[in-house]
Structure 1
Amino acid sequence: MTVLQNLWLTETIRLREEHAGPLEDQEANRLARAAGGDLSIRIHQRARWLAERDGLTQALRHWLQGARLALIALALLALISGAGLGFAALGDGQTPVNVFWALGSLLGLNLMLLIGWALGLVFAGEHDAVLGRLWLWLSEKLARDAKAAQLAPALLLLLQRHKLNRWALGVLVNGLWLLAMLSALVIVLLLMATRRYGFVWETTLLGSETFVAMTQALGALPALLGFSVPTVDMIRASGDAALNIESARQAWAAWLVGVLLVYGLLPRLGLVLLCLWRWRRGRTTLRLDLNLPGYAQLRERLMPSSERLGVNDVAPAQLHPIESAVSMVDSDGALLVAIELDDRPWPPKLPETVKNAGTLDSRESRHKLLEQLSRFPPARLAIACDPRRSPDRGSLALIAELARSASATRVWLLQAPPGEALDAERLGDWHSALQQLHLPFADCMPLNWLESGHD
């Protein structure tokens, strides 16, 4: 995951908590504290865990896929629009081409929008481009993920805070116009190569000298790149009718192509490179703003001045399959732990290779063990539970948290004491809950598995 994506997810989590209230984050905070580092690193670690748990990481992947599809769709639209401008400017070759009308068709809209974009950038400081909004809207629609709706506002806020949205949208807008101008230039060249065009200029109010001056002024910069400019005689003669002279047609064609290249394509190319440079330069300076209320209130939880013990959060309403975050390489040994045993003798006799973690019957004992497991995760963990108790959400959340701290986990549902029978319905609830968690369980201690990893 890139630095930008990490910041993006962190900002999404902040906005989500700001609007919907704090998330259940005890395990995320514990893992962030165990990872160490400064406050920014711990906030990122917490956000990554919460985003993975709540499906935001997958939603981000879907949004990025939608963004690519939206960009391809807009690029195709730009290419088709540019080709349409080329066809509209030159026509079918049956009638002479009015050079200034053709030039207005090719460059008019492009130059007006370019000036508007530049003025908005200089005077307003921000520019919410229509193409940018369209791209964000298409990206969200093509993502087809309800959770992806939270990502676009978070991205915009993150970029606006660092004044990078103008450059990101600048790359998009100018890049699409660059494609349109390139498509128009290619179509113009193809049409000129396969059809015979005559060129004229027409006016009722202006004199010929005005068009001579305009033609020479517009052709000055293209002439520096080697494009020919019609002579004064050619310009004046073209005011009456299209000259049936090969050199005149070629001079007008070269002039039109040169003006399109210099005033249509090259400015957009320059702006794309400028915006891309500013975007890449600014992206390296992206940092969390720790003064924001959503981040400032995490300081005591992630970097506490004194350790606070216990679980104060409401247990999750839905059980999710457990995926251990610990690999076999990073874990070692076997551990047995019990949860809330009332009148049972404990622990059972264990071989030396299996360690006893005791009984978790208080918030302090739970917190202490989870902190130890975050530093020294076991390869195999057996959790003993008393099925005479109901599988409440708090117990199941603790089992899930313990299981994520080990490479492999099994649940031991203890048998009833002599002379007492287990409630079948309650036992079925345990089986159903553990199946939802995708945790293996049995009614006897998995001793062979704890010792060797095999049954």
Structure 2
Amino acid sequence: MPDTALPPIAPLDRLWLTEAVRLREEHGGPLEDTEANRRASAAGGELGARIEARALLLAERDGQRAALLHWRQGARLALLLLALLALVSGASLAVAALGDGLRPVNVFWALGSLLGLNLITLLGWALASAFGNGGGGALGRLWLWLSEKLARDAQAAHLLPALLILLRRQRLSRWGLGLLVHGLWTLLLATAAVTLLMLFATRRYGFVWETTILAGDTFVALTQALGALPALLGLSVPDAAAIRASGAQALVDEGARQAWAGWLLGVLLVYGLLPRLLLTLFCLWRWKTGTRRLALDLALPGYQVLRERLQPTSERLGVADAAPASLPEHRAGALIGDGQGALLVAIELDDRRPWPPALPAGVADAGILDSREQRNRLLDQLSRFAPARLAIACDPRRSPDRGTLALIGELSRCAAATRIWLLAPLPGEALDGARLGDWHQALDALGLKHGDAPLGWLETGHD
């Protein structure tokens, strides 16, 4: 039964959970899915939609959907930690590049400090994207590792493998991790640029270049070549005379200082921040267009097995699946939305008991459920025409066995509100107090109200 506390699920998450359920069944064997198959078949639609509906029901029942929410929370926390690291690193990078202001700034050492690691990682990303399957590098792997560690949910074991398998079909993992990596580098370089600007505004820096084996003309040409693009954006570039003079000593001329500061900031923006920002936007565009094209690979064996269960070519009667190795805990619930009308149904009553009782107007009788066929037929009807109020009559002389409790839970999930009617014993018969206590304990565990005849509640909706 869907948990009303869970938010609506996004299309990507539906596919993600479907893949996770497939991997879980592939590694651990088939799940107990009778109710999920019935409800998915009743929902109709193409095979892919039915498979998704079945997987979502199983994921909600077994806790995988809640685990996905925990994984997302862990991923957001990991991203926040990496963003804080990027902020601190960007500010530290700018401070380290300029120094304390007491000594002249070697412009090319400063430029190498600001852009060197960025260019190396950018080249690594390009090579990985061109020749590999990823593009996230160490930063992307660190985020995935942190996300998994912070999730701390036993049901999340198949989530990350399922996500990577799903994204590889459209080669989306490179764009998703690329979006993460370029976004973090954009934040780091933007922080470095802002810190540079603040330091230039509050401290006085002198700029020099130094060399032992290169000629001064080499530095003039290189400086002017690097400053050509920033100059198109209106940022200052030192002239040839200022560049040559800076090779001897730090200039005290205010205009020369400002020109070097503008050049250094412009080169950082144009060759560092701008490419990362454009790559971030490009990865975002590829991610969004790719996720819209994502779909299940129905040719996989795990989905082919479900074809006959969810979209059978003919009905097969009298065939029961083998019992699974472990059964899920029985849970009750309530229909999400409004039903119509009121219904009374009984489970395995004694033939000597007169049934049904006199019912108020507007209350329908669904009879007595004694066989598997009767149960399935009623459940199919309730899947299409859900009642607002459902009363289930039970004979407390019988033991509250696993099958009866499972049926009660399944019926309750087909109605907006459910109550259990524990029938009084027939005249001359005694009621076992211990067995009645077992019923109370089991129904309390299911979270269902129980007691005497709820006919008034069925008629009016209140006691």
Relative to structure 1, is the Cα distance of residues 333 and 357 closer, same or farther in structure 2, using a 3 angstrom cutoff?
same
Partner of 1:372: 381
Matched, 1:84 2:89: no
Indicate the residue corresponding to 2:113 in structure 1.
105
CA distance in 2, matches of 1:353, 1:224: 80
Give the AA of the match of 2:454.
P
Aligned to 2:404: 395
CA distance in 1, matches of 2:179, 2:385: 48
How many residues are aligned here?
452
* Cα deviation code 1:133-178 (max 9, x no counterpart): 2222222333343323432222121111221111111111001001
Distance 1:135 1:268 in 2: 18
Superposition pairs of residues 219-230 of structure 1, within 5 angstroms: 219-230=227-238
Aligned to 1:306, what secondary structure does the other structure show? coil
Paired letter, 1:397: A
CA shift, 1:308, in A, is 3.7
Question: Displacement of 1:343 after TM fit?
Answer: 3.6
Q: Distance in 1 between matches of 2:138 and 2:62?
A: 32
Q: 1:280-335: CA deviations, max 9, x gaps?
A: 111111111111122121111111122245664648756454221253x3x22222
Unmatched runs of 5 consecutive residues or more in structure 1: none
CA contact (8 A) 1:33 1:302 kept: yes
Q: Give the secondary structure class of the aligned counterpart of 1:422.
A: coil
State the TM-score, normalizing by the size of structure 1.
0.94
Match of residue 332 from structure 2: 322
Matching residue of 1:20: 28
1:8 aligned residue? 16
In structure 2, the residue matched to 1:44 is 52
Cα offsets for 1:105-152 (capped at 9, x unmatched): 000000000011011101224324221122222223333433234322
Supply the distance in 2 between the matched residues of 1:322 and 1:313 (Cα, whole angstroms): 24
Residues 268-307 of structure 1 correspond to what in structure 2 (within 5 A)? Answer: 268-307=276-315
Aligned to 2:224: 216
The question of 1:383 aligning with 2:392 is answered: yes
> CA-to-partner distance for each residue in 1:310-368, whole Å, 9 max, x for gaps?
664648756454221253x3x22222222223443342333353322222221111111
Q: Is residue 192 of structure 1 aligned with residue 200 of structure 2?
A: yes
**Residues 1:223 and 1:353: Cα distance change in structure 2 (over 3 Å):** closer
Q: Deviations over 1:212-253 (max 9, x none)?
A: 222122122222222232222222222221122222222211
Q: CA deviation at 1:58?
A: 2.2
How is 1:26-37 mapped onto 2 (pairs within 5 angstroms)? 26-37=34-45
The answer to whether the aligner puts 1:133 opposite 2:141 as a matched pair is yes
From 67, 72, 75, the counterpart of 1:67: 75
Return the TM-score normalized by structure 2. 0.92
Question: What letter corresponds to residue 111 of structure 1 in structure 2?
Answer: L
CA distance in 2, matches of 1:34, 1:106: 61
Aligned to 2:420: 411
CA contact 1:400–1:437 (8 Å) conserved in 2:
yes
The structural deviation recorded for 1:54 is: 1.8
Q: Deviations over 1:9-40 (max 9, x none)?
A: 21121111111222211111111111111111
Deviates most, 214-223 or 136-145 = 136-145
Q: In the alignment, is the contact (CA less than 8 A) between 1:29 and 1:302 conserved in 2?
A: yes
Question: What is the 5 A alignment of 1:234-245?
Answer: 234-245=242-253
What amino acid maps onto 1:265 in structure 2? L
Question: Percent of aligned positions with the same letter in both sequences?
Answer: 66
| Native 8 Å contact 1:59 1:148 kept in 2 | yes
Range with bigger deviation, 301-310 or 246-255 = 301-310
Q: How does 1:136-155 map to 2 (within 5 A)?
A: 136-155=144-163
8 Å Cα contact 1:384/1:411 also seen in 2 = yes
Match of 1:355 among 332, 343, 364: 364
> What is the DSSP-based 3-state SS (H/G/I as helix, E as strand, rest coil) of the residue aligned with 1:184?
helix
Following the alignment from structure 1 to structure 2, what is the Cα–Cα distance between the partners of residues 42 and 314?
A: 23
Gaps of 5+ in 2: 1-8
Of 66-75 and 185-194, deviating more is 66-75
Aligned residue identity for 1:360: L
Name which of structure 1's ranges 353-362 and 371-380 shifts more when overlaid on structure 2: 353-362
How much does 1:41 deviate?
Answer: 1.3
SS at 1:297 equivalent: helix
Q: For residues 317 and 374 of structure 2, what CA distance do their matches in structure 1 show?
A: 9
1:61 shift after superposition? 2.2
